[in-house]
Amino acid sequence: MNKPTDNQFIINDKGFANTVRQIASPNFDERPAGYAIEMVVIHNISLPPNSYGGSGIIELFTNSLDPEAHPYYAKIYASKVSSHFLIRRDGELIQFVSCLQRAWHAGVSTWQGRERCNDFSVGIELEGSDFDKFEQAQYTTLNTLLKSLKQIYPIQQIVGHSDIAPGRKTDPGPYFDWQKINK
């Protein structure tokens, strides 16, 4: 597992965290000029649904998901989505997109009257679902990452995908324990 140094990840001037496995996603673009990173959006994801430990998430974020590998994949394989970070069940942190770039994680979204939340947020996916508790190792890595992000970006809010896309998204779901994160 990629462990933080001194209980933090050092995020460099290119927007990448140290000691973190990097897997490049092509699904990003430039943030609009003048937009600061002010928000973190927490998601959950499992591929196939409710299954953990496989390569499906990585394949989805790198546009290499085989539509014939699972019936669910046939519905989503052509989606162009990504996230800045993924936290596996064992706490491993993987980065797909530089924090300085706009990852495609939020979709149609609004927060406090501002639309297009991808413009001003960092997306963090937790390997999980709406039906299972998250692991303590995930909360530990999440808190370390949040601390590191807040040290260099003007983070003002930490929200769930369901908060910015109500009625459309439910993640991080009812088993995400908001009391376990340091806002």
Task: Return the active site residues.
Answer: 125
- Rounded CA gap, 168 and 143, in Å? 26
b/e 31-66 (16+ beta carbons within 10 angstroms → b):
beeeeebbbbbbbbbbbeeeebeeebbbbbbbeebe
Q: Is-contact 78 118, C-beta < 8 A?
A: no
Contact (CB, 8 A) for 85 and 125: yes
Question: What dihedral do alpha carbons 46, 49, 50, 56 form, nearest 10°?
Answer: -40
Rounded distance, CA 35 to CA 67, Å? 36
What sign for the dihedral angle of Cα 171, 176, 177, 183?
Answer: negative
